[in-house]
Amino acid sequence: MNTMNVLVRMLLLSAIVTLSACSNEPQTADGQSLSPPVAEKRQHVVRAPAGERVDPYYWMRDDKRRDPDVLGWLESENRYTQSMLEKNQDLQRVLVDEMRSRIQQDETSAPYLDDGYWYYTRYEQGLEYPIYARRKQTLEADEEILLDGNELARDRDFFQIGGWDVSPDGRRLAWLQDVVGRRQFRLLVKDIDSGEVADTGVNGISSAAWSADGTSIFYVENHPETLRSYRVRRYYPGSGADELLYEENDTAYYTSVGRTRSDRYNYIYLQSTTTTEMHVIDSARADAGFEVFLPRESGHEYAADHVGDHWIVRSNWQAPNFRIMRVDDPKHADRSHWQDVIAHDEAVFIHEFDAFERFLAVSERVDGLRRLRVLDYVSGEDRIIEFAEAAYVAQLGRNREPATKSLQFVYTSMTTPRSTWELDMLSGERRMIQQIEVPGEFDPTHYQTDRIWVEARDGARIPVSLVRHRDTPLDGTAPLYQYGYGSYGSSMEPAFSTARLSLLDRGFIFAIAHIRGGQEMGREWYEQGRLLHKMNTFTDFIDVTEDLVAQRLVDADRVFAMGGSAGGLLVGAVANLAPERYAGIVAHVPFVDVVTTMLDESIPLTTNEFDEWGNPMDPRYYEYMLRYSPYDNVRATDYPAMLVTTGLWDSQVQYWEPAKWVARLRELKTDDNPLLFHVNMDAGHGGQSGRFRRLEQTALEYAFILDQAGAG
């Protein structure tokens, strides 16, 4: 256990938490009455140009995570949750065993070729973390282990590898690791032949890439307070020399670094919600410096990759759904030289591309579904790769070789485990090279996936992906677990989940509501779900629920909702807007204190979010946010049964947001339904690390829902 965790535990022992009884008296499994924690209220005023708000639970914010009152409060919530769930312990153990039994213990990923090596990731029997390895030239060659996550994670409560990069000569490995859960990574370098590891001492970073000449590493430093990625530095292994190359002063932008497919250029990628800019350097040249690829323009998003003697660019210039363009090496900064390769189409949203010397592979979306397109520059043939299932995902795989004619892609659906395919881009022939094996008695024909459309209250057509066991009828008798996200233009894909089978096998219908705020239906779908249109996200979700009930597809009395992060904001807002529609709600690491967080630019990620939610210093956005902010809209009414989770070290949504929300719900709600708050004291936004350990939280969630549905 690390020093910080020891300190946390010591403080918890000294904490004094006052608990008082509520009118409802929940009981433990042995019949003992148990009262939920009741938080102390302390006067605090949050000021803003458009008004002031009293926040009696503001004291729960502790940036250093050391305040004994705060830690004691969180621990009391954990004890209460544990006691309330004692009756579900057997079910949780059964669920963990089920989910674990469906994981291939010695799984190996599909290999991909890069500069003469086949790279892959594998797991060993019973171990938590991946092993990254490679073989030279052929898959029959001796294995070289690059990183063993199990060795690196030994005796740690949390461990995550945040990314890794092999030097262009193939001899050294740079990787990032986090042992707290706060996503502030440390840079380490390994000599692959000797196995010698050098700790660079570089900490608090977010991305890194070897230079094209292999003499140095470009990396991004995060701001120590806001955690915004903002400085690009160059580190020279061996000498330890370190120099500052670039600093992004606009707080709306995140910064990352990488290397192009051609391995000739390195780049700095600057991204806000609606605008991007790239800087590139021919880093094999000793005298080269970074130059702007194309100067930023408000609302213009682009990303470029280099292959051969030209650049391929994905751009939304005069193309809301994006288009693909090409420009020769020296002319990239003059957009008049950019030429269409794939023109804009109002019905087709372009997600990403892989550029090759002869071919261009594009991942695009039509009517909410992902498909692939391959363009042959020589023949001019444009081939669409489509699939037969009602709801599915087809995405580009790992394709690092510019001269190849073979395209690796990934296919999955809500009934089909993830499979990796290889497409001959000349002939169009495809073959499966790997499918994730689900041990046990799994049979995909036992499950049914459907896709329906729901009309929102303003006439918009919302796609909904459904999956159920084939024996579960769509006749209004089955419980529903509905999931959504609806922010940042992130599209929620109808992909396979082995854990979800535990719900489906117990008669649940699982639905993904592809609501506005994502980009499932193109860029306009996103625009209609952000800023002053954000309410569409929440009403879309409710409209999907009401339609599934009205069509008698699901049991109206057993509808449950789940979301995480910005999806936690979604279900938090839904809980206030339509609490009577849901029997239970699960909110993971929920962003629920929108106004207070967005007013405080010292909180990580705030300034980059203004284009998503609005800046509450502007009265228009302040007033609009107050209409939906879950924390600000809790009222004296009956709420569904609720399970709320967070991580103490969360850097994306600070733990105090859900903590304050739970405290206010306890104060005001008028029902006897359980409200449970689970705090992972050793993790951050992504939850527990380790492929088996994270199943425990999923089992806790499922056991809670199954218990509330009477389906355990």
The CATH number for 601's domain is: 3.40.50.1820
Catalytic residues: 565, 650, 685
437 inside domain? no
How much is the pLDDT for 562?
98
Domain match, 525 and 662 both: yes
Closest C-alpha to 8, from 458, 679, 690: 679
d(CA 99, CA 694): 11
180 near 162, Cβ under 8 Å?
A: no
Hey, what are 590's tokens? 């929920």
User: Is the pLDDT reported for residue 594 higher than 50?
Assistant: yes
How much is the pLDDT for 19?
32
Q: How confident is the model at residue 14 (pLDDT cuts 50, 70, 90)?
A: very low
How much is the pLDDT for 288?
87
User: Is the pLDDT reported for residue 382 higher than 80?
Assistant: yes
d(CA 327, CA 306): 10
How much is the pLDDT for 226?
83
How much is the pLDDT for 237?
94
Kindly state the average pLDDT of the residues 2-25: 36
User: Is the pLDDT reported for residue 686 higher than 70?
Assistant: no
**Domain limit, last residue, from 351, 381, 404:** 351
397 inside domain? no
User: Is the pLDDT reported for residue 9 higher than 90?
Assistant: no
| Mean pLDDT for the chain overall | 91
Q: Minimum mean pLDDT among 151-165, 248-262, 564-578, 676-690: which range?
A: 676-690
How much is the pLDDT for 687?
56
User: Is the pLDDT reported for residue 641 higher than 70?
Assistant: yes
Instruction: Please provide the distance, in angstroms rounded to a whole number, between the alpha carbons at the two ends of the chain.
Output: 35
Is residue 114 classed as helix, strand or coil in its secondary structure?
A: strand
Domain match, 12 and 124 both: no
Strands (E), 414-460: 419-424, 430-435, 447-455
Domain match, 115 and 210 both: yes
How much is the pLDDT for 623?
97
User: Is the pLDDT reported for residue 603 higher than 90?
Assistant: no
With the CA atoms of 181, 80, 704 and 669 taken in that order, what torsion angle do they form, in degrees rounded to the nearest 10? -110
Bridge partners for 112 per DSSP: 119
Hey, what are 46's tokens? 């949050």
User: Is the pLDDT reported for residue 158 higher than 90?
Assistant: no
582 near 705, Cβ under 8 Å?
A: no
483 inside domain? yes
520 near 491, Cβ under 8 Å?
A: yes
| Contacts (Cβ under 8 Å, ≥6 apart) of 631 | 572, 592, 593, 594, 596, 657, 660, 661, 664
More confident residue, 145 or 240: 145
Q: Cβ atoms within 10 A of the Cβ of 289, count?
A: 10
Closest C-alpha to 289, from 246, 247, 249: 246
| Contacts (Cβ under 8 Å, ≥6 apart) of 640 | 575, 579, 582, 583, 584, 585, 673
pLDDT digits (tens, 9 = 90+) for 538-560: 999 999 999 999 999 999 999 99
Kindly state the average pLDDT of the residues 238-249: 92
Domain match, 465 and 560 both: yes
| Contacts (Cβ under 8 Å, ≥6 apart) of 551 | none
Which residue do the tokens 């213009």 mark? 300
373 inside domain? no
User: Is the pLDDT reported for residue 26 higher than 90?
Assistant: no
d(CA 294, CA 314): 13
d(CA 526, CA 533): 10
Kindly state the average pLDDT of the residues 231-240: 93
Which residue do the tokens 């803003």 mark? 48
d(CA 160, CA 637): 41
pLDDT digits (tens, 9 = 90+) for 308-332: 999 999 999 999 999 999 999 889 9
379 inside domain? no
223 inside domain? yes
Is residue 693 classed as helix, strand or coil in its secondary structure?
A: coil
pLDDT digits (tens, 9 = 90+) for 463-506: 999 999 999 999 999 999 999 999 999 999 999 999 999 999 99
377 inside domain? no
How much is the pLDDT for 12?
37
CA 485 to chain centre: 10
**Domain limit, last residue, from 311, 336, 351:** 351
User: Is the pLDDT reported for residue 6 higher than 70?
Assistant: no
Q: How confident is the model at residue 650 (pLDDT cuts 50, 70, 90)?
A: confident
Range of the structural domain that residue 336 is part of: 106-351
CA–CA distances in Å: residue 109 to residues 130, 218, 337, 443: 10, 28, 41, 21
How much is the pLDDT for 5?
41
**Domain limit, last residue, from 331, 351, 371:** 351
d(CA 72, CA 40): 12
589 near 568, Cβ under 8 Å?
A: yes
Domain match, 158 and 273 both: yes
Kindly state the average pLDDT of the residues 399-427: 96
CA–CA distances in Å: residue 623 to residues 187, 430, 533, 629: 43, 54, 13, 10
484 near 570, Cβ under 8 Å?
A: yes
User: Is the pLDDT reported for residue 516 higher than 60?
Assistant: yes
* pTM exceeding 0.75: yes
More confident residue, 178 or 537: 537
d(CA 620, CA 600): 17
152 inside domain? yes
How much is the pLDDT for 127?
85
Domain match, 77 and 110 both: no
CATH number at residue 121: 2.130.10.120
d(CA 491, CA 589): 19
Task: Put the strands of the sheet holding 302-307 in their side by side order.
Answer: 302-307, 310-315, 323-328, 339-342
Residues in the chain: 712
User: Is the pLDDT reported for residue 30 higher than 70?
Assistant: no
Kindly state the average pLDDT of the residues 44-63: 95
Domain match, 498 and 638 both: yes
| Percent of residues, the chain, with pLDDT higher than 70 | 94
Domain match, 167 and 194 both: yes
Domain match, 61 and 145 both: no
Maximum mean pLDDT: which of 128-137, 435-444, 464-473? 464-473
pLDDT digits (tens, 9 = 90+) for 202-233: 989 999 999 999 999 999 999 988 888 999 99
Q: Cβ atoms within 10 A of the Cβ of 110, count?
A: 20
| Contacts (Cβ under 8 Å, ≥6 apart) of 370 | 351, 363, 364, 392, 393, 394, 395, 493
Q: How confident is the model at residue 37 (pLDDT cuts 50, 70, 90)?
A: very high
Domain match, 138 and 57 both: no
Domain match, 131 and 274 both: yes
User: What total of structural domains would you count in the chain?
Assistant: 2
- Under DSSP, the state recorded for 226 is T
Using N-to-C axis directions, what is the helix angle for 535-550 and 619-628, rounded to 10°? 30
Hey, what are 125's tokens? 């029997």
How much is the pLDDT for 155?
84
Q: How confident is the model at residue 34 (pLDDT cuts 50, 70, 90)?
A: confident
Domain match, 669 and 698 both: yes
Is residue 533 classed as helix, strand or coil in its secondary structure?
A: helix
User: Is the pLDDT reported for residue 84 higher than 80?
Assistant: yes
| Percent of residues, the chain, with pLDDT higher than 90 | 80
How much is the pLDDT for 685?
58
CA–CA distances in Å: residue 96 to residues 90, 91, 507, 693, 710: 10, 9, 18, 9, 19
Q: How confident is the model at residue 3 (pLDDT cuts 50, 70, 90)?
A: very low
User: Is the pLDDT reported for residue 182 higher than 80?
Assistant: no
587 near 572, Cβ under 8 Å?
A: yes
| Contacts (Cβ under 8 Å, ≥6 apart) of 310 | 326, 327, 328, 329
